[in-house]
Amino acid sequence: MIRLESLTKTYASPQGMVTAVDRVSLEVREGETCVLLGPSGCGKTTTLRMINRLVAPTSGKVFLAGRDTEAADPVELRRGIGYVIQQIGLFPNMTVAENIGVVPRLLGWPETRRRERAEELLTLLALPPAQFASRYPNELSGGQAQRVGVARALAVDPPVLLMDEPFAALDPVNRETIQDEFQRMQRKLRKTILFVSHDIDEAVKMADRIAIFHSGRLVQFAAPDEMLTHPAGAFVAGLSAATAR
């Protein structure tokens, strides 16, 4: 469903060229949850943003459902890709329902359809619409805001979901709960998900396969069990040793 071919991004900096993402190749199957795991600065966000073309690759290719995304209209491309950004990014002056309805509105959905869709998604994410649809973001807890961010990304039912450290800002108890809910939802919806995390326990719990990044390079791409039992090198072994499982 998602295929990266030698994907590379370099930036010019005062210290010279920085290679944020270095010849990354991987494939995410339809309905699979893949976690990009690695420390801060290893190129995870840049990789996600090259998939929906918020960042233009320096070289290499991205295919979505077999289509080279370079040829696609970026606006149309992004409609097929839900994106949950690192800082949630809800619009503070819009209600929860209006936030969820942003993309449907751009697509010209009438008010009643937008409202119904928002209510359906809020219910799916365990936020009773009667209680939450008309609230503003500053009236939500961190976990509730995060769920609204996920609902917004799902609004027009895109087949692909990109999520950038969606649960990182939550306390451990809330994080467990929302991870469990998200897994239940994914069993129902079967989206193709690329999920960024720097937390090995979260990766092991959520991923069908884990793509481990180190300094812009993909150092291992394997199922969690395989990664834990057969780490590819010292860096992965170090990460694996840090997990509680």
At 145, give phi and psi (nearest 5°). -60, -40
Residue 99 binds Mg ion (CB under 5 A): no
Residue 69 binds Mg ion (CB under 5 A): no
Residue closer to ligand ADP, measured from CB, 20 or 239:
20
- Written as six digits, the tokens of 234 are 């010292």
Residue 57 binds ligand ADP (CB under 6 A): no
State the minimum distance, in angstroms, from the CB of residue 10 to ligand ADP: 9
128 CB contacts (<8 Å, ≥6 apart)?
A: 122
Taking CB within 5 to 8 Å according to partner kind, which of ligand ADP, Mg ion, none is near residue 41? ligand ADP
Taking CB within 5 to 8 Å according to partner kind, which of Mg ion, ligand ADP, none is near residue 197? none
- Written as six digits, the tokens of 228 are 């834990």
How many residues would you count in the chain? 245
Residue 20 binds ligand ADP (CB under 6 A): yes
Of the candidates 218, 219, 216, 195, the residue with the CA atom closest to the CA atom of residue 11:
216
Residue 45 binds Mg ion (CB under 5 A): yes
- Written as six digits, the tokens of 26 are 């991987």
Element (H, E) at 162: strand 160-164
Of these, 45, 144, 192, 240, which contacts ligand ADP (CB under 6 A)? 45
Of these, 4, 28, 43, 218, which contacts ligand ADP (CB under 6 A)? 43
- Based on its alpha-carbon atoms, the radius of gyration of the chain, rounded to whole angstroms, reads 18
Taking CB within 5 to 8 Å according to partner kind, which of Mg ion, ligand ADP, none is near residue 69? none
- Evaluate whether 186 touches 33 at the Cβ level (below 8 Å): yes
Of these, 14, 16, 40, 130, which contacts ligand ADP (CB under 6 A)? 40
State the minimum distance, in angstroms, from the CB of residue 230 to Mg ion: 27
* Residues 136-165 within binding reach of Mg ion (CB under 5 A): none
State the minimum distance, in angstroms, from the CB of residue 47 to ligand ADP: 7
- Segment lying near ligand ADP (by CB under 6 A), choices 37-45, 97-105, 147-155, 174-182: 37-45
184 CB contacts (<8 Å, ≥6 apart)?
A: none
Residue 152 CB burial class (10 angstroms; 0-12, 13-18, ≥19): buried
Which positions touch Mg ion (CB under 5 A)?
A: 45
